[in-house]
Amino acid sequence: MKSNTLLTRGLYAITDPLLLPNKRLLSGVESALRGGTQIIQYRDKTATAIELLRNAQSLRDLCVDHQALFIINDDLALCLRVKADGVHLGKSDGNIIKSRKKLGEHKILGVTCHSDLVYAQHCIKQGVDYCAFGRIFPSKTKANAPHCELETLTKAGKLSKPCVAIGGITLENFPQLLEMNIHNVAVIHGLFAQKNIEATARKFSSFFNK
């Protein structure tokens, strides 16, 4: 199975060490998975190498148990070491061609494009499996992230690879995106900052089942 068929449509949850510190990481992610989250991206810029490895291995096992995809943020070596399903690269965080070669054709390679459709098309030609656009709405996680207009997001949905929307997406504003050809919505604060993570994930996931 090639990697471009692996990106399951649905809720794409990204971890945050401030929202899911220490032991709350695994319990929070498990709640999200029970609620129907299809993809988990492990993102932590503060953990030590040992912590990253331990957490990534545990999260990978959880995702396997729940038949969800597991993506590593920005760390290709960690992705390969723990046999994750793929890696997500920021706009300046790695060479796409080299990353694709190291990953092989059976792993997922995603990239942040912000609002740059030309860059997205360039990345697709180089072998990425999906392009993430955002921030779509004001974000509590990345307040200074570049804004992506809804018009740009609409055009992004017409690309030859899946479009992932990210940035400030909540249960309240998500309906604005339903008419667009979005493959996934990536959520951090809108999921992991909520009192009932499982119920919130289930509500997000229900939008994709309509």
Q: What is the C-alpha separation between 160 and 171, in angstroms, rounded? A: 27
The CATH number of the structural domain formed by 3-208 is 3.20.20.70
- DSSP 3-state of 148: coil
**CA–CA distance from 24 to each of 59, 73, 193, 197 (Å)?**
12, 19, 12, 12
pLDDT at 5: 52
Mean model confidence pLDDT for the chain: 92
Q: Which two tokens stand for residue 25?
A: 């990481």
Q: Give me the percent of the chain exceeding a pLDDT of 90.
A: 83
Residue 194, CA distances (Å) to 32, 47, 56, 76, 201 in order: 11, 23, 23, 30, 10
The pLDDT tens digits of the residues spanning 98-133 come to 999 999 999 999 999 999 999 999 999 999 999 999
pLDDT over 90 at 19, yes or no: yes
